[in-house]
Amino acid sequence: MKRRAYLILAVCTAAAWISLPAQADIYQYVDEQGVVHFTNVEGGRIRRTVKVHRELPNPKAASAKEPSAESKQVRPDTIPASYSESINTACEKYGVDPSLVHAIIKVESDFNPFAISSKGAMGLMQLMPQTATDLNVKNSFSPHENIEGGVRYLRYLLDRYEGNLKLTLAAYNSGESAVKRWGTVPPFKETQDYVRRILAIYRGQGKSSLAPRYTIYVGYNPDGSLLLTDNPSNHPEKTLHRKMERNL
């Protein structure tokens, strides 16, 4: 009888823990090669982790998770001042409309700098780990670094797709390879909804004039000769680096 009571107590305790609201605690650790990692799991095979963020339960989170993007544009006065400064600085640097970045961040993370997607995308502009590495973003949870990297990547995509905003947003969401495969916005519900929601906030028309700068990319041909181009999409198999920009 006593054993049965303990069993019932254990089951009830487990049920109580399961019913607790999920919390997005984030831990940071450095591996043997010196690479910084972020995880939502403490301990395990990792010897030492440092908690960098603890998110308290928010009863309104479920209803706020999927806001109606069509309802209204992002009001600048609702954006934290530190974010606005980083957004404006990065947009000025790379020649991107800040309103477009506001719309992307709204849909991507709803301005939560510690957001993590089920696929591992992180931060305000939801950078994938490999993308963050390519953009030299060392801490995707730093609003300034995340915005700098995200806007830089957005500028690259705008250049690649020659200002076509729909293709740019589709590539930002589903990847350049998916856009290349289909030759248009991929027929994925998530991607099509993503493009539609951002355009509804931004009030874009699918064709953007966001190309105020003339960007030159530099690489090398197989024979070692220097390659200069203003359209990286013509050379997808080559590693190209932005060399210079100037206003048109």
The sheet carrying 50-53 orders its strands as 36-39, 26-30, 50-53
Is 55 labeled as catalytic in the residue annotation?
A: no
Quote the percentage of the chain above a pLDDT of 90.
47
Structure confidence at residue 30 (pLDDT): 64
Percent of the chain with pLDDT over 70: 56
Q: What is the end-to-end Cα distance of the chain in Å, rounded?
A: 84
Select the more confidently predicted residue: 25 or 104.
104
Taken as a whole, the chain contains a residue count of 248
Residue 80's pLDDT band (cuts 50, 70, 90): confident
The predicted-structure confidence for 157-207, as pLDDT tens digits, reads as follows 999 998 999 999 999 999 999 999 999 999 999 999 999 999 999 974 444
**Comparing 9-13, 71-75, 224-228, 243-247, which segment has the lowest mean pLDDT?**
9-13
Average pLDDT, stretch 16-20? Answer: 38
Say whether 116 sits in a helix, a strand or coil. Answer: strand
Strands (E) across the chain are located at 26-30, 36-39, 50-53, 213-220, 226-229, 241-247
pLDDT score, position 228: 74
- Answer yes or no: is pLDDT of 243 > 70: no
Q: When comparing pLDDT for 117 and 248, which is higher?
A: 117
What is the average pLDDT across 225-230? 75
pTM here? Answer: 0.60
* pLDDT score for 211: 46
Domains and CATH numbers, the chain: 19-57 (no CATH), 70-211 (1.10.530.10), 214-247 (no CATH)
Catalytic residue, chosen from 85, 108, 145, 162, is 108
Residue type, position 99, single letter: S
Find the mean pLDDT for residues 221-243: 70
What pLDDT, on the 0 to 100 scale, is given for residue 194? 97
Confidence of residue 43 (pLDDT cuts 50, 70, 90): low
What does the block give as tokens for 77? 């006065």
> How high does pLDDT run on average in the chain?
75
Q: What is the pLDDT of residue 114?
A: 95
pLDDT at position 223, please? 80
Tokens representing 63 are 């209803």
